[in-house]
Structure 1
Amino acid sequence: MSRIGKLPVAIPSGVTATLQDGSLTVKGPKGELSMTFVEDVTVSQGEDGITIKPADESKKARAMWGMQRALVANLVKGVADGFEKDLELVGVGYRAQMQGSSLKLSLGLSHDVIYDAPQGVTLACPKPTEVKISGADKQKVGQVAAEIRRFRPPEPYKGKGIKYVGEYIRRKEGKKK
């Protein structure tokens, strides 16, 4: 039995949720997001929030139960508060700066890398070695962070590269004489 799926998703004040024909649209101060549900779950909206239940006792329905509830919770949190990821550039000469709405990265390559964020995601550089990614859609924010990190992932010998703030890079010992 799903422990997370049993909990209803509370709708905070300032957020409206519309449920119709197997799809959910959530509007809030940070924007509007929507999703469609799989046919293995039934969704209802009540006073305590949005409740999700499995349509039957099949293994797939029980597996989808908790996942669909987590996706709904992410929609509600996204339009209410938003999501944020922080990246850190580690290395001599590694810098980031905003160039209009796009991000310019100097990563020790023969050229500067220019990254344009998709719609709904905002980029900011509070420091030259820090990039803040924020938006309402959790999946988009994480995807943008992963794409930026992919330009120069951290390497295990010196730890140089783009890493998430708070990420631990497992270090290797270098060659010995």
Structure 2
Amino acid sequence: MSKIGKAPITIPAGVTASINGQTVSVKGPKGALETTVVDEIAVKMEDGAILFSLNGETNRHKSMWGLSRTLVANLVEGVTKGFEKKLEISGVGYRAAVQGKSLSLALGFSHDVNYAIPEGIQIVTPKPTEIVISGIDRQKVGQVAAEIRAYRGPEPYKGKGVKYAGEFIFRKEGKKK
């Protein structure tokens, strides 16, 4: 039995949730989100909580049970608190700045990299070497952070590049003469 899947999701005050077939819609103070739950899982609302149950007993049913519950829990958390990812830039001359609807990154290339900020995502740069990405959709926030990091991932010799805050970079020793 899924320990995650059988836990109900309580709806906090100020948040409204509705279920229409397999589509779960959540509206809160930060915005509105919706997701479609797979057919293997039955979704229902009872006493201000969303419950998930299996429609079968195969391995796929069991796998989707916990996943579906977590996806809906992320919707509820997103419309109440939101999500945030922090990136750190290290390297001589490496910096970031937000210019209107795009993020300008100087990452040691012959040109600056301009990243268009997607709809529903806010990016701020408190310091030139720090990027804070926030939004209500957890998947979108993580995807934007991964795309920015992919421009110049951290290298193992000097640790230069873009990394997640708190990420450990395994360092290698250089060539010996």
TM-score range with shorter-chain normalisation? over 0.9
**3-state DSSP class of the match of 2:153?**
coil
Partner of 1:122: 122
Partner of 1:80: 80
Partner of 2:175: 175
Matches within 5 A, 1:42-61: 42-61=42-61
State TM-score, norm by structure 2. 0.98
Cα deviation for residue 88 of structure 1 reads 0.3
Matched, 1:31 2:37: no
Partner of 1:158: 158
Matches within 5 A, 1:11-30: 11-30=11-30
Cα deviation for residue 68 of structure 1 reads 0.2
Matched, 1:40 2:40: yes
CA deviations on 1:63-120 (whole Å, 9 max, x unpaired) are 1100000001001001110000000000000010111121111111000011111111
Matches within 5 A, 1:124-139: 124-139=124-139
Gaps of 5+ in 1: none
State TM-score, norm by structure 1. 0.98
For 1:103 and 1:32, the matched residues in 2 are separated by: 26
For 1:110 and 1:61, the matched residues in 2 are separated by: 51
Paired residues, what number? 177
For 1:156 and 1:26, the matched residues in 2 are separated by: 42
For 1:136 and 1:118, the matched residues in 2 are separated by: 13
Partner of 1:101: 101
CA deviations on 1:120-162 (whole Å, 9 max, x unpaired) are 1111000100000000000000000000000100000000000
Gaps of 5+ in 2: none
**3-state DSSP class of the match of 2:10?**
coil
For 1:105 and 1:59, the matched residues in 2 are separated by: 45
Cα deviation for residue 48 of structure 1 reads 4.6
Structure 1 residue runs of 4 or more that deviate by more than 4 Å after TM superposition = none
Partner of 2:146: 146
For 2:46 and 2:94, the matched residues in 1 are separated by: 51
Identity %: 58
For 1:49 and 1:21, the matched residues in 2 are separated by: 16
For 1:2 and 1:88, the matched residues in 2 are separated by: 36
